[in-house]
Amino acid sequence: MKLKKLLILLIMIMLLAFTGCAKVNIETGVDRDCNAFLTYVIDVDLTSVSSGQILSTMSSLDDMMDHYKNELGFEVSKSNTDVASGACRYEMTKTIPGDNYEDAFNTLQKMLTDESITPFMQVDMTSKATAYQQLYSFAGELDFETIYKTTNIESFPKDLQDSIRQSFEAGEGTVTISLPGNEIEASTGGEASTDHGSASLKAPFSFNQKTSLSLSTRLSTDGDGAVNQTMESILQDFQISTYSWIVIGGLGFIAFIVGIALHLRKNKRKNNDHSI
């Protein structure tokens, strides 16, 4: 089944309901080479489940990675895989090169407002350039609880509902935003730092809580024009872009979730029968 609005973290919640634990790290922004990027890194620990369940879960994760690669244009990789212990790392990255920081920033805005790949419920981004400086601003909100509430889990079996809720409450990760800048004007929600013309903000998040974060940066220039900018773009004030969305759990999405759940439950029951 092809799914236009595949939410990676919600899928992870479903997988966690039948496995062990996992941490999801999200990294996004504009790098020094004027690339817009979005990366998901998932570290999975399945040490508490049977070997058969490990293979089943890894197979489901592999299917998810195939979707991100073939349908959404991500580069994917799997490393540190130890089937015996159930430890593995999945990484998915989408990188789009830009001609300059302005171009990359605008591309990043499009990526983070694309509901097929963005982790954010709300995004506000602004950019402004003058002859002596560039200003960049990002504000975003992670709100997996709202997404979770729209999936109508009450339609699932009671034991499945309980497993999902427990996994949802335990889910956690980090999110890192990177923007061009040698100065940080303001930041909220995490730890901000600068490194050779790049500013970043790193914040922890939990699945069952809203996480709001913001980062405003300043990139100073030598007076001959903004770094990697044309004179036309220097004189332009860039429009504020605001994006807000709420995922509504449609029948196709519910069917996809239930399919994963039943597949994992079936394998789990088989493994339990064999162990008796």
Q: What is the per-residue pLDDT for 76? A: 93
The reported pTM is: 0.76
Weakest mean pLDDT among 47-56, 95-104, 191-200: 47-56
Q: What is the per-residue pLDDT for 61? A: 76
Q: What is the mean pLDDT of residues 64-82?
A: 84
Report which residue type is found at 185.
E
Residue 240 scores a pLDDT above 70: no
The span from the CA of 134 to the CA of 257, in Å, is 44
pLDDT > 90 in the chain, percent:
34
Tell me which range, 80-84, 164-168, 181-185, is most confidently predicted by mean pLDDT: 181-185
Q: What is the per-residue pLDDT for 251? A: 38
Structure-model confidence comparison of residues 257 and 21, the more confident one: 21
Q: What is the mean pLDDT of residues 120-146?
A: 89
Answer left, alpha or beta for residue 107, where phi above 0 means left and psi between -120 and 50 means alpha: alpha
So where are the chain's domains?
8-269
Residue 135 scores a pLDDT above 70: yes
Report which residue type is found at 220.
S
Angle between helices 51-70 and 8-16 (to 10 degrees): 170
